[in-house]
Structure 1
């Protein structure tokens, strides 16, 4: 017997997360480039942003050459920043800005890579266009609370935590984006309950 899949969050009905989501009208536009392995990853968190944020686009793939829609988005009239830490041998023209250095206006948007550290690093290596984007760096206000998936290190954040930190700092409003963390906590609790029943 086939599982019933929620048409909105694309998860099996028994682990549907739609009731956890509150719509948020974010001013700073977000785009997510998701590694294909993350699409059906039940522990993934990008889905929370995709469902909650009114200005959020998602593309799935490893190489920009296969994603003309994303290429167009990157070259449209707004400045694009990539949320990604500094790495060795990064393009010299690439500048890294702290969140506080970016003007709080409508003339920029942010791209986020969704995947494990190893997979996002590979995506960076495959795409010189990504390496050339100016970066925005985060100083998290608190450590990750990601309990259902192993993190690279104590400074790492899940995708949804990174988006929360980014938007709450860029738009100077932690309360506005707290529903992202609330949904994140509920999704994790749901996973623990589901595991206990197995």
Structure 2
């Protein structure tokens, strides 16, 4: 078995692609990752968690809600009916849960965690089509976890998505280099 970087968990370390310091943002992100995605070469969740200051990555199939002593408004970033987050919630008062996995795995996570399905939803306003060319998407609205979170942070608090999208572009370039050299 190949050794992995202890920080990014990649066989080929990608830590140099990360910003010098985690990016500051207001919305708290909690990424719930399906276990089969944890060491997926094309996965973006781990890099995203390392790139953002207020981002927690949890791996599993069933989860308990995060403790919420500050009474944050909790929501789920997931397509569905119109967004249902109450208007006027300040970004610093929002905790956003994000499911990481294929669409099939994300539906499984939603099914196994009924408390998530009960949360208000955040839908992305007309996000740009995915630039994550190393994974096949069946529809234009299907984004990588990194792209979806970048779009959500831009929509909810005006965060510039460029540093996160540059991180993903670096990952795509590295994956393409590996394919060419194989």
TM-score between the two structures when normalised by the length of structure 2: 0.90
For residues 126-185 of structure 1, the C-alpha deviation after alignment (integer angstroms, 9 at most, x for no partner) is 2211110111111233111110011131111110000000011211132xx311100100
* C-alpha distance 130-120 of structure 1, shift in aligned 2 (>3 A): same
In structure 2, the partner of 1:71 is 65
TM-score between the two structures when normalised by the length of structure 1: 0.83
* C-alpha distance 75-35 of structure 1, shift in aligned 2 (>3 A): farther
| Residue 148, structure 1, aligned to residue 134, structure 2 | yes
Greater radius of gyration (CA): 1
Deviation for aligned residue 1:74: 5.9
Q: How many residues align?
A: 180
5+ long unaligned stretches in structure 1: 65-69, 88-94
Check the 8 A contact 2:150/2:164 in 1, yes or no. yes
SS at match of 2:164: helix
5+ long unaligned stretches in structure 2: none
Deviation for aligned residue 1:189: 0.6
CA RMSD of aligned residues (A): 2.0
By percentage of residues, which structure has more helix? 1
In structure 1, the partner of 2:164 is 180
| Residue 20, structure 1, aligned to residue 14, structure 2 | no
| Residue 122, structure 1, aligned to residue 108, structure 2 | yes
* C-alpha distance 105-163 of structure 1, shift in aligned 2 (>3 A): closer
* C-alpha distance 110-102 of structure 1, shift in aligned 2 (>3 A): farther
In structure 2, the partner of 1:37 is 36
CA distance in 2, matches of 1:140, 1:51: 26
In structure 1, the partner of 2:120 is 134
Check the 8 A contact 2:24/2:53 in 1, yes or no. yes
Check the 8 A contact 1:138/1:165 in 2, yes or no. yes
